Amino acid sequence: MGGTRITAERGDLTTVAVDAIVNAANSSLLGGGGVDGSIQRAAGPRLLAACRSLRASTLPDGLPVGDAVATPAFDLPARWVVHTVGPNRHAGETDPALLASCFTRSLDVAVEVGARSVAFPAVSAGVYGWAADDVARVAVEAVRGWVVGRLGEVDEVRFVLFSERLEDAFDAALRQGC
């Protein structure tokens, strides 16, 4: 894909040494469970302070579903955290385009802050109720499409997944269309 390496691996997103990690945030940006909670804890209290600052200034109503915004990563090995809000299937947000937007907008924002390597979780595959296979397919298609349109802007995209089930789903999606 234009020289961009796209991979899937099992691991802890908070320990990955890349320019930017993507946080599966909620729209409030004020912390939560799952990936968001892990990132907030590992990054330290300055991350929450940065998110509060965004809410007090540019995002008073929160971050919309499918959009993304960056903050410094503070105590994480990454330089940046790109926060994105995935669609919540349990709340009727079932449009795959909204999910795809999480991945493409996150890449847009990562490039804006100078990131050349980006690591993603399986956005919306946890408590937001999307099936692992659906998230993997949408994510891989969105990233591949973005990479083709933006050749040379990102060197590496890694899907860093916390379970074998998610890793298998992403591996299968990556094998499609190779």
- As annotated, the active-site residues are 36
**Cβ-based neighbours of 88, under 8 Å, separated by 6 or more:** 65, 124, 128, 129
Alpha carbon separation from 44 to 12, 14, 38, 50, 110 (Å, rounded): 16, 11, 10, 11, 21
- Which residues are registered as beta bridge partners of 23? 83
**Cβ-based neighbours of 61, under 8 Å, separated by 6 or more:** none
Tally the C-alpha atoms within 13 A of residue 87's C-alpha that lie toward its C-beta: 20
The answer to whether the beta carbons of residues 74 and 44 sit under 8 Å apart is yes
Helix (H) or strand (E) holding 66: none
Helices (H), the chain: 34-43, 45-56, 96-112, 132-149, 164-175
